[in-house]
Structure 1
Amino acid sequence: MNDTKAVNALISGKVQGVWYRAWTVDEARKRGLAGWVRNRKDGTVEAVFAGPAEQVDDMVQACHQGPPLAKVAGVAVTPASSPHGESFEQRSTY
């Protein structure tokens, strides 16, 4: 049985203006995940990751580091509903 899960991740720190969203899209697609990522007006980045549990967990771990210019202060993870579709996309700021 393939264990799947979906989580919402809220990433704080210096995560806007450092290519965090583009990095997230690339990394999530490499892992075969569905979902989305967007900047929030409060300076955080929000993402939903859905797919095989092991790949979701690996992606969340990667978010603690982020791209080279990011300075991640924290990653808050909560359960989420699976997004519709099978792709991973970048969304507009919320």
Structure 2
Amino acid sequence: MPDGSENIRLTAWVRGRVQGVGFRWWTRARALELGLVGWARNTEDARVEVVAEGPRESCEKLLALLRGCDTPGRVVGVVERWSEPRGSLLGFVER
């Protein structure tokens, strides 16, 4: 059984009222608090795409925060994909 410290890549697509409400900035702040690297960007279909790499436990915490009730705007759904980390990311940025 793998432990929560293995590095992983989380890609999450967040839908709802998440553009123009500070959602990417909020996501960046939470990711940095969790020690994750990656980015958050608006998509053309009004979602926010979040890519985060780091310990699985930290990525799972970020995913829970994205699905929580304390986000800016209003989240109506989050779809996630888990994959191997690429290790090429530095910091966490809004794109």
**What is the CA–CA distance in structure 1 between the aligned matches of 2:37 and 2:90, rounded to whole Å?**
5
Which residue pairs with 1:90 in the alignment? 94
Q: TM-score, normalised by structure 2?
A: 0.85
Say yes or no: does 1:42 pair with 2:45.
yes
Q: TM-score, normalised by structure 1?
A: 0.86
Q: CA deviation at 1:85?
A: 2.9
Name whichever of 8-17 and 80-89 sits farther off.
Answer: 80-89
Structure 1: which 4+ aligned runs deviate by more than 4 Å? none
Name whichever of 8-17 and 76-85 sits farther off.
Answer: 76-85
Q: Indicate the RMSD between aligned Cα atoms, in angstroms.
A: 1.8
Q: Secondary structure at the match of 1:59?
A: helix
Indicate conservation of the 8 Å contact 1:37/1:89, yes or no: yes
Q: CA deviation at 1:67?
A: 5.0
**What is the CA–CA distance in structure 2 between the aligned matches of 1:7 and 1:46, rounded to whole Å?**
10
Which residue pairs with 2:65 in the alignment? 62
**What is the CA–CA distance in structure 1 between the aligned matches of 2:69 and 2:24, rounded to whole Å?**
9
Name the count of aligned residue pairs. 91
Q: CA deviation at 1:70?
A: 1.4
